[in-house]
Amino acid sequence: MVVTRFAPSPTGYLHIGGLRTALFSWLWARRNGGKFVLRIEDTDQSRNNEAAAQAIVDAFEWIGLEHDGEILYQSQRMGVYQMYIDQLLQEGKAYKCYMSKEELDALREAQQARKERPRYDGRYRDFTGTPPEGVDPVIRIKAPTEGSITVYDGIKGEVTFNVDDILDDFIIARADGTPTYNFVVAVDDALMGINEVIRGDDHFSNTPKQLVVYEALGFKAPAFYHVPMIHNSEGKKLSKRDGATDVMEYKRLGYRPEALLNFLVRLGWSHGDQEIFSMEEMKKLFDPNTINKSASIYNTEKLDWLNAHYIKNLANDALAHELLPFGADLKAHDKKEILLDALKERAKTLVELAEMVKEVLTAPTAYDEKAFKKAVKPDSKAVLEAFAAKVEATPELHLPTDYHALMETVVSEMEIGFGKIGMPLRLALMGKLSGPGVDTIMASIGREETLARIAGLTAQLN
């Protein structure tokens, strides 16, 4: 059974790149009928943030990536880590190092002066003397001192590291007893049965150290897939300006979770030329072995295009519910179907759609100066008053076609072009010359509000 995991550190918000690796891990587990574990790596108490940990959980709930079992917190497993540290000490595979910070700094300075790679020199590896007083020891694992370590990666292929270039006897427990990242990751992945690890390329350099821990404890290493990073359009590391922001910020900006997931699955993976994937299609088709080897490029226009697609295809009742947090309340509006059908074709985000809804439903308090000059002609007041008279005389007006028929009647009777009524009427209704069709606006706001807005403009015309 395939068992994957996502294991963020609660030191900040859930990043968009982290969500992508979580999605890949989730999809691979679901495709294979396996398990997906969410683990919070919070052993570093000096950097942890409870609010950040909760933000990660909130993001998963919003995005809809359900995990199997309870969320696991490393801070609650300290006894487990201590047991395995003691085991390695007893077996002679780890040892206490009493090197002071001053000694370590002096060693590194000397190595750098000789243009050598800074590394621990193993001076306490086989120490049997009397420990120095006043020094709380760290615990170091005995790493290989020669040869090579080969990482088998589903994306990169087989990569061999020269031990002398990358390893020393690295610390697995700090002086205060807390275990270090590479140690607890290997222990937890093994004990939790994680057999497929999909994670960002920035973790690749940690893999040889983790393999040392697996070997020392007699654990079987998982299959690894290190996903190339997401870059901006210039091929550089993604910044906040480019989109490297809190996943929940996408919610606040009006993006649909399914659009965000569809966008992320295509950052580094593809299935032919297909761009739009349902969740079922993603689960059926995704395979980490076909992830691209090169970095992917973040494209805001593509995200907006996908989000517009999902907004357009969302049922209006559901869409009305989604608009509530953005200040547009249509749930009890009797013409919400007419209004949303017209507006959702034009919106890239829920924020944009909410603003469009509010613009239609809120009477203008001023008129755009350029629009006024363009729309208002000497006969505009007479045309608007003629149309208002038709509306007054027709109590049964419900659909856009009902209002459009009255407009056509005025055009015919006054022998004018359609623009003669359309432009000043749009100005009266919206205060500007953009927006949905004027017949749709009138059907959405109703007969009385239509008359009130026409009267508001005609009062200003000579």
pLDDT digits (tens, 9 = 90+) for 111-162: 898 888 888 998 999 998 899 988 899 999 999 999 999 999 999 999 999 9
- Predicted confidence band at 47 (pLDDT cuts at 50, 70, 90)? low
Check the annotation: does 240 bind a ligand. Answer: yes
Q: What is the mean pLDDT of residues 189-200?
A: 97
Domain boundary among 171, 193, 227: 227
Phi, psi of 288 (to 5 degrees): -65, -20
Domain-embedded: residue 51:
no
Residue 149 lies in a domain: yes
Closest CA to 173 of 108, 78, 105, 39: 78
Domain that holds residue 91: 78-227
Q: For residue 269, which of 14, 31, 7 has the smallest C-alpha distance?
A: 31
**Worst-scoring range by mean pLDDT, 45-59, 136-150, 251-265, 411-425?**
45-59
Task: pLDDT band for 433, please (50, 70, 90 cuts).
Answer: very high
Please indicate whether residue 240 is annotated as part of the active site: yes
pLDDT at 309 over 90: yes
Residue with the bigger pLDDT between 10 and 311: it is 311
The residue count of the chain comes to: 462
Convert the pLDDT of each residue in 153-182 to its tens digit. Answer: 999 999 999 999 899 999 999 999 999 999
How high does pLDDT run on average in the chain?
93
- Residue 200 pLDDT: 94
Provide, rounded to the nearest whole percent, the portion of the chain with pLDDT above 90.
83
Q: How many domains would you assign to the chain?
A: 2
* Position 48 pLDDT exceeds 70: no
Sort 392 into a burial class: Cβ within 10 Å, 0-12 / 13-18 / 19+.
exposed
Q: What is the pLDDT of residues 82-103, one digit of tens each?
A: 999 999 999 999 999 999 888 8
- pLDDT at 243 (0 to 100): 65
For range 258-268, the mean pLDDT: 96
326 inside domain: no
Is residue 196 over pLDDT 90?
yes
237, 240, 312, 331: the active-site residue = 240
Q: So what's the pLDDT on residue 222?
A: 98
Q: Which residues contact 272 (CB under 8 A, 6 or more apart)?
A: none
In a domain, 315, yes or no: no
Q: What is the CATH number of the domain that holds 401?
A: 1.10.10.350
Residue 424 lies in a domain: yes
pLDDT for residue 218 is more than 90: yes
In a domain, 295, yes or no: no
Question: Rounded CA gap, 1 and 266, in Å?
Answer: 26
Domain harbouring 184, CATH code: 3.40.50.620
Q: Does residue 205 register a pLDDT over 80?
A: yes
* Domain final residue pick, 202, 227, 252: 227
- Burial of 244 by CB count in 10 Å (0-12 exposed, 13-18 middle, 19+ buried)? middle
Between 132-136, 186-190, 207-211, 436-440, the lowest mean confidence (pLDDT) is in 132-136
